[in-house]
Structure 1
Amino acid sequence: MMIPELPAYLTQLGGADYKGYIIGLFTLMAGLSRPFSGKLSDTIGRVPVMIFGSLVCVVCSLLYPLVSSVFAFLLLRFFHGFSTGFKPTGTSAYVADIVPFNRRAEAMGMVGLASTIGLSLGPSIGGWMSNMWGIHTMFQASAMFALLSVVILVGSMKETLQNRQRFSFKLLKIQRNEIFEPLVIGPMVVTFLTYVSYGTLLTIIPDFSAHLGVQNKGLFFTFFTASSIGIRLLAGKSSDKWGRVPILKISSAMLAVSMVMLAMSGSPNMMLAGALVYGAALGLNSPAISAWTIDLGDPMHKGRALASMYIALEAGIGIGAYLSAFIFHNDPKYFAITFYLNAAITVFATVYLMFIYPGKQRLRNTH
């Protein structure tokens, strides 16, 4: 809900030159917290980790209206990243516990569908509420939605982790081998390369929309959602049937095409067409990546494997946010080069899947 409104809110505080930090600081904290959420998910349980992530959303949403300086805003944005660092890790591990192997990607696709609806319809709802009643009301509504998540978690979700431990502060001590799961390097590389573009979109689409004369800065995400919903109903099943890597080759190529379409956009219609292609590509990509990560990871450390994948995701989003803000620098003439650069980065994901990853697999099989 906040994404399209935060750049203008930060500008009002005097921080127009720090727009890239809105996504960058958030994803930095999310990435830093992943090893902790992965370890805690595998020790104290999936549900407590999810509850903590949702509670962070509640508290931070209520604090935004109280900040009055650029530093305070950026500090709050940094700590808000705990929410994404914890909630998706617990959720994905929970789903992996309850779903059979042969329907894993299908299930991840359905969870991703719900996530996409929230991530993508949220900006439109947030923009509408902010225009109607002001940005403070939008922040309060965001807190309410997060609180409803906590209510559902506490009231109706049974813990799936066997042999749980009680929380103790010694669990927060992370060993080197607990930072990430080496077995899922392949999914991590592809996740990083494909999510750089997502960080870019979150950062500059509000400005790009305004540049093209689109009043509702969240409209791009509405079209993105519609496309993603349509493809996710089939995407998981296709990955379970045809394999993770073939689907990821297709989705990576589609992501690159969508970036080229945005670079060439001179009208709202072309921009929204790019949103449709991007939504379809990400709808194919996300469940396949998640299922591939679980396939390759240690069954006893699902949380760690998924946290590793999410570290790569946050790194991609964060670098995309910083890079796009640096290149764009509030000058519309740099929109095209920003999108073209993202297309090139995404193309390398396809190159990795076609030529580099198979070679590494063959090398591993010879030892």
Structure 2
Amino acid sequence: MHVETRRPAIYNLNFFLLCTSYFLFFTSFNMIIPELPAYLTSLGGEDHKGLIISLFTLSAGLSRPFSGKLADRVGRIPVMVIGVVVCVGVSLLYPILTTVGGFLFLRFLHGFSTGFTPTGSSAYLADIIPFQKRGEAMGIQSLFGSLGMAAGPALGGYIGGIWGVEPLFYLSAAISFLSIAILSHLKETLQTREKPRWSHLKLSKSEIIETRVWAPSLILVFSVFSFGVVLTVIPDYSDHLGLENRGLFFAVFTISSLAIRVLAGRASDRFGRIPVLKAATLTMVVAMWVVAEAKSTSMLLVGAVLYGCSIGMNNPTITAWTVDLSLERFRGKALATMYIALEAGIGLGALVSGWIFANQAENFSAVFTASAATAGVAFLLLWFIPKTKDPHTPKKSQDVLG
């Protein structure tokens, strides 16, 4: 009993190496995001801002079934490495392909990085953490990812403002390379591994989607729609309201999510995934409404704090819920299915927000009101999810699981 609750046995060197690599990976590709709308405009592609995120998420979503299959067959670490290598290569190519078409092609290619690394990382974490600590561990891992999401845009906005976007691309590549160096020190956790072969890139229908995790995936589509909106529109909204650093909103909402992530993970371990997600989606509704009504930078940043709280509760809980419902031998496929839903929600948010915004300042409120409504749909759907779909519900509800 005491052995299971002693942290040194759970949070070991492998765990923290994984988290550090995760931090560097998220820092590397998030640091360029605040400067990309202005950079695309400088190339003559101001009408294609919605594609900056949607192309990225499209390729990430398309690659998920492959990363899930490879994670279950070849290993967790090779899948993580593939994603980071893509990050390094694409970051080095941004300063070379300086046409609108070349830039959009690289955004599509860049998405393969997040199609692979998070899938392998989450599967690796699920392998080394016991069931009763899963939510807490996912919270800690996502905290490191959030630190990267906070440090990246803030650092990127600073560097972009002083030295321009080209040094930013090179720094992004360097940070990705550090992530690979750390991964090389991890010990593989997949017990039965196959040698990579071309047949691993052939997918049957049953290898694309894991139907056991339909519930968290459905909620995720509606709850991350707002993230696609934020990534696409917030840089211009920040300019509109007079924020000099386009990355400040990203830094504030990410930092505000840090403290609540571990607490939310522990709460979901104790009280269930669904109750925590109800709180997360309701907070997201309020956050998007506050952002929609913002008339000053201070009100915008209040919305950022609330949004960070909702993200901090949502992300680790959804991931832990997905692992709960999956079979161990199909864990990679289950996580890939969840990430497909993630990319679908973000991509839709980016496309719809780009269409509604249409580079017209009077449309800002409508964009974020739509985000609030979409988060509201996620909140309502959670009331119809059967309790049997939440293995961490209190014991009275667990009785029906047998």
Classify the TM-score, shorter chain. over 0.9
- Residue matched to 2:379: 350
The gaps in structure 2 that reach 5 residues or longer are 1-30, 391-399
- Residue matched to 2:43: 13
CA distance in 2, matches of 1:11, 1:313: 27
- Residue matched to 2:127: 97
Q: Which amino acid aligns with 1:274?
A: G
Which aligned pairs between 1:244-283 and structure 2 lie closer than 5 A? 244-283=273-312
C-alpha RMSD of the superposition: 1.4
Residues 1:135 and 2:165 are matched in the alignment: yes
| Deviation string, structure 1 residues 120-157 (Cα, Å, up to 9, x no partner) | 32111011111222211111000000000000011x10
- Residue matched to 2:54: 24
Note the C-alpha offset of 1:201: 0.1
Note the C-alpha offset of 1:311: 0.2
| Deviation string, structure 1 residues 325-344 (Cα, Å, up to 9, x no partner) | 00001101001011111111
Which aligned pairs between 1:221-260 and structure 2 lie closer than 5 A? 221-260=250-289
CA distance in 1, matches of 2:345, 2:157: 26
Name which of 135, 145, 155 aligns with 1:125.
155
CA distance in 2, matches of 1:215, 1:242: 42
Residues 1:44 and 2:68 are matched in the alignment: no
Q: Which amino acid aligns with 2:386?
A: P
Q: Which amino acid aligns with 1:224?
A: F
Residues 1:204 and 2:230 are matched in the alignment: no
Name which of 346, 353, 356 aligns with 1:327.
356
- Residue matched to 2:337: 308
CA distance in 2, matches of 1:320, 1:225: 19
CA distance in 2, matches of 1:22, 1:142: 17
> Normalising by structure 2, what TM-score?
0.88
The residue matched to 1:66 in structure 2 has which SS?
coil
CA distance in 2, matches of 1:120, 1:28: 23
- Residue matched to 1:287: 316
CA distance in 2, matches of 1:361, 1:92: 20
Native 8 Å contact 1:204 1:325 kept in 2: yes
Residues 1:70 and 2:100 are matched in the alignment: yes
CA distance in 2, matches of 1:75, 1:361: 40
The residue matched to 1:160 in structure 2 has which SS?
coil
Which aligned pairs between 1:142-157 and structure 2 lie closer than 5 A? 142-154=172-184, 156-157=185-186
| Deviation string, structure 1 residues 228-282 (Cα, Å, up to 9, x no partner) | 1121131111110111000001101001110000011000000000000000111
Note the C-alpha offset of 1:361: 6.1
CA distance in 2, matches of 1:252, 1:160: 34
CA distance in 1, matches of 2:277, 2:202: 35
Note the C-alpha offset of 1:359: 8.7
Note the C-alpha offset of 1:69: 1.0
| Deviation string, structure 1 residues 275-297 (Cα, Å, up to 9, x no partner) | 00000111011111001000011
Q: How many residues align?
A: 362
Q: Which amino acid aligns with 2:348?
A: I
- Residue matched to 2:190: 161
Native 8 Å contact 2:292 2:369 kept in 1: yes
Q: 1:148 to 1:160 in 2, by over 3 A?
A: same
CA distance in 2, matches of 1:256, 1:358: 23
The residue matched to 2:189 in structure 1 has which SS?
coil
CA distance in 1, matches of 2:259, 2:252: 11
Native 8 Å contact 1:37 1:89 kept in 2: yes
Note the C-alpha offset of 1:68: 2.0
Q: Which amino acid aligns with 2:158?
A: W
Name which of 220, 228, 245 aligns with 1:191.
220
Q: 1:284 to 1:26 in 2, by over 3 A?
A: same
Q: Which amino acid aligns with 1:109?
A: G
Name which of 33, 42, 46 aligns with 2:63.
33
Residues 1:115 and 2:145 are matched in the alignment: yes
CA distance in 2, matches of 1:232, 1:244: 13
- Residue matched to 1:82: 112
CA distance in 2, matches of 1:51, 1:360: 36
Native 8 Å contact 2:146 2:255 kept in 1: no
| Deviation string, structure 1 residues 52-93 (Cα, Å, up to 9, x no partner) | 100000000000001121111101110111100000000000
CA distance in 1, matches of 2:68, 2:53: 22
- Residue matched to 2:394: none
The gaps in structure 1 that reach 5 residues or longer are none
CA distance in 2, matches of 1:88, 1:319: 20
CA distance in 1, matches of 2:187, 2:269: 27
CA distance in 1, matches of 2:378, 2:252: 24
CA distance in 2, matches of 1:285, 1:53: 24
The residue matched to 2:120 in structure 1 has which SS?
helix
Report the identity percentage. 51
Native 8 Å contact 1:45 1:159 kept in 2: yes
